[in-house]
Amino acid sequence: MGARQHDPGWPSMVQRRDGRSAPFDPERIETAIGRAARETGHPDTAVAAKVTRAVADELGRRAPGRPVTVEQIQDVVETQLSAAGFDDIARAYIIFRQQRAELRTAKRLLGVRDELKLSLAAVTVLGERYLLRDDRGRPAESTGEMMDRVAAFVAGAEDAYRAGSSAQWTERFSALLRGLQFLPNSPTLMNAGTPLGLLSGCVVLPLEDSLRSIFTTLGHTAEIHQAGGGTGYAFSQLRPAGEAVGSGGRASGPVPFLRLFDTAAEVVQLGGRRRGACMAVLDVSHPDIFDFIAAKSGTPAGLSHFNLSVGVTDAFMRAVARGGRHRLVNPRTGRIVSEVPAVEVFSAICEAAHRCGDPGLLFLDAINRANPMPDAGRIEATNPCGEVPLLPYESCNLGSVNLAQMNRGGRVDWDRLTEVVELGVRFLDDVIDVNAYPFPELDEASRATRKIGLGVMGLAELLATLGIPYDSAQGVRLAGRIAGHIQRTAHTVSARLAETRGAFPAFGRSRFAGTVPMRHAQLTSIAPTGTISLIAGTTAGIEPMFAIAYTRAILGRHLLEVNPYFDRLTRDRGLYHDELFTEIAQRGVVRGYHRIPAEIQSAFPTAGEIAPEWHLRMQAAVQRHVDAAVSKTVNLPAAATVDDVRVIYRGAWRAKVKGITVYRYGSREGQVLSFASPEPGVPHVDTSFAGGCVNRVCEF
């Protein structure tokens, strides 16, 4: 717009639809016209600039010295485009305007005020589960007000440290959240400033070999699930089925108790706001290991609230490789019950994973080599999706940086990434202080080590915007570089916070003792991000895209959704036509689609197109720069074999990741992304689908 951007004859203010006022910004008009122009094959930026000047001049004549409304601006844009002879651009602009109007109408039907301009799917989930409600059950806050509530409550911790007022940090945190550059885990969004008060995403709870311990943990589980948190357990200490007990009866073994916990999760869910998510781990040496392996793939199946993982050691994996034998040991007595070929156990694991996606593997030795508190005990369990191995009663306090917003001019904006990481670490540190733990053991364990899990979402979208294929050496290298930058920055911030706030209380007993004091025993973790990536409008965690276009059932209609960046790119490149997205939805993919240029095809692979070794290479590259673990799924086509699973599981151990999960398309009923029919077919997703939770129960 040049020197005329501040022409005194133009309006100075715009009245928004929500009643608020904002400065008149002609660049926003020019951007909208430019996008419609490019969509219709007019790449010349002078067109948009010329029409925008005409629009601003006309608005100034119609409302001299008075604010203009958004609707008035859009009406004038249409008339000026037509007057200038750009009827095709006007039609594209009108269609876009109609689509936005339909979206606003749908949000009103949901009763949600959305000044953040989120997707309809995001608003649907927020309205159902996250926004505060009035006495009549209607949403009582807008999407932006939710972010403000969370920011203000968390920033309340700042007053205790005299590092600026909480009001100053509220403003900074709110801008961060409203900008969708960083979001905390779901319980923080749900519960901050409410009577529930639990902000942690999940906890690991102990299970000892006694009814008192089991049912105490079951009660604690109900409290955690009621507040929206997830739970993880090691069932490895429970005596095997059939062993005599003091009452004269026989022990049930871990699997029946596992089903008890699953039933309890279902009951609590019926009165709660979100699905209970749990992780059950059993050591590979437990005598009931074969029953555990088959618990979700045999009859009866069920366990819909649980993910299963077998805890394996390096010794077990070496025995598999050399054809050795494996001992099954009674955990109560320490006696060897039997010896079996290690490969027999491993094959049972791979066959079950091929059938239904469970169990995954946890590599316990790799996990414990990174255990920051080895004197406190051996880590045996993780949170529901495996990204945070924890000791009993420790909690996950998670948040994720939106990498999709870290592209500046076709390059990673490292400075902005640093700023967001610094704010994210501080935010999560404050979360620990304002968190309301439902029982004292959680409070004590969480404060002793102050573990946080700063992760990412939007990696696949960032790579696509940079034109880098996810399944390429360049993509893997960049992902590792980003993870390393985040880890280094987070550790620097933690050391800086320790100078003013003190090191975590257990620092002197940690493996860091004698080094630079740290505020946190653990800082980084890669979560699946579930609903927070849906809210942010980006891809989940470090997962690839699962489909470029799909339909989602909302408000009784099947609405076609397209990856937002792919949508913008095709319109900006003049590739858009009315049937484009329907044709892509029929295919589910763009690779091999002749109407899309090769470089765009390359940058938009879907999970099913990516060879398993690239999934694993990506996970391993990121894991090398992550304190905790990485939640990542190796997606397999329906035709994949059990041998394919064997190769992946053994490769994961050699790659030194901390856990591994596979999912073969179609191997589980009710998966949240599915095709309506055999090829070709339109992918359908459920309301909550965000691209990262196809196979497992994961955090919403």
Q: Which residues belong to the active site?
A: 383, 385, 387
| Residue whose token pair is 């999560």 | 428
CB-facing half-sphere around the CA of 43: CA atoms within 13 A: 7
Residues whose CB falls within 8 Å of the CB of residue 653, separated by 6 or more in sequence, listed in order: 312, 314, 317, 361, 363, 660
C-beta of residue 178 within 8 angstroms of C-beta of residue 143 = no
Query: Over 165-231, what HEC string results?
Result: CHHHHHHHHHHHHHCCCEEECHHHHHHCCCCCCCCCCEEECCCCCCHHHHHHHHHHHHHHHHCCCEE
* DSSP H or E run through 558: strand 557-562
Give the separation between CA 239 and CA 536, rounded to whole angstroms: 45
Phi, psi dihedral angles at 44 (to 5 degrees): -65, 115
For the chain, report the end-to-end CA distance as a whole number of angstroms. 44
Alpha helices in 450-472 (DSSP H): 459-465
Would you call 233 helix, strand, or coil by DSSP?
A: strand
Give the separation between CA 7 and CA 13, rounded to whole angstroms: 13
- Residue 162 burial (10 A CB sphere; 0-12, 13-18, 19+): exposed
Tokens of 444: 């004590």
Using left for φ > 0, alpha for ψ between -120 and 50, and beta otherwise, residue 556 falls in left
Give the separation between CA 569 and CA 575, rounded to whole angstroms: 8
C-beta of residue 181 within 8 angstroms of C-beta of residue 402 = yes
Give the β-pairing of 278-283 and 306-312: parallel
